[in-house]
Amino acid sequence: MDKQLVEVFSAFDGKEEELIPILQKVQDALGFLSDDSIMEIARFTRVPVSSVFGVATFYAQFRFKPRGDTHILVCRGTACHVKGVTRILEEIENQLGIKEGETSIDRKYSIESVACIGACSLAPCVMVNGKVEANLTPQKIRKLFKTAVKIN
Ligand code: FES
């Protein structure tokens, strides 16, 4: 078993009711929930694999793909939508050669979307590694990712 999983599991008893905290800690350790980690969690908690998947997919906080070194969180909230975030997302996808929900093959970039990043007055905006990029235009996106290497 992965050393990181052994370490995470050592803080738990393996009870079914610990499933969500275990999923959270495994994701913190690995950056996402891999198929292997789900299987190990199922073994550890004696919960069927299908149930572990069921719980993990129910909550938006869990990821099943690794994030890129540069993680872009695109706001899909109303204010950003009205201010044209769809064009911003398209430009990001064009610049990076990946779609929303994907991670580039070299794991340099990943794109996800959320309902609102809490900076509505700065719409349209995205977060890049936790930093808000505000009042975006396609031109600003091109400038922001000018060093990005297209992979497609
Ligand atoms: S709607 Fe985009 S930050 Fe709230």
Q: What is the pLDDT of residues 34-48, one digit of tens each?
A: 999 999 999 999 999
Enumerate the domain spans of the chain: 3-58, 70-144
Q: Write down how long the chain is.
A: 152
CB atoms within 10 A of CB 90: 14
Considering only CA atoms, which of 63, 139, 134 is closest in space to residue 94? 139
pLDDT value of position 152: 42
Does ligand 1 have an atom closer than 6 angstroms to the CB of 68? no
Tell me how far the alpha carbon of residue 110 lies from the centroid of ligand 1, in angstroms: 20
Does ligand 1 have an atom closer than 6 angstroms to the CB of 20? no
- Rounded average pLDDT over 47-67: 92
Choosing from 80, 86, 128 the residue with most ligand 1 atoms within 8 A of its CB, the one to mutate for a pocket test is 80
The reported pTM is 0.74
Quote the DSSP letter at residue 11: T
CA contacts within 13 A on the Cβ side of 134:
6
Choosing from 112, 120, 128, 132 the residue with most ligand 1 atoms within 8 A of its CB, the one to mutate for a pocket test is 120
Tell me how far the alpha carbon of residue 100 lies from the centroid of ligand 1, in angstroms: 17
> What is the topology classification, in CATH, of domain 70-144?
Glutaredoxin (3.40.30)
Structural contact between residues 4 and 30, judged by C-beta atoms closer than 8 angstroms: yes
Structural contact between residues 123 and 79, judged by C-beta atoms closer than 8 angstroms: yes
Does ligand 1 have an atom closer than 6 angstroms to the CB of 114? no
pLDDT value of position 65: 86
pLDDT value of position 148: 59
Q: Does the pLDDT of residue 149 top 70, yes or no?
A: no
Radius of gyration of the CA atoms of the chain, in A: 18
Considering only CA atoms, which of 149, 72, 63 is closest in space to residue 106? 149
146/94: higher pLDDT = 94
pLDDT per position as a tens digit, 67-111: 999 999 999 999 999 999 999 999 999 999 999 999 999 999 999
Confidence band of 140 (pLDDT split at 50, 70, 90)? very high
Q: Does the pLDDT of residue 28 top 80, yes or no?
A: yes
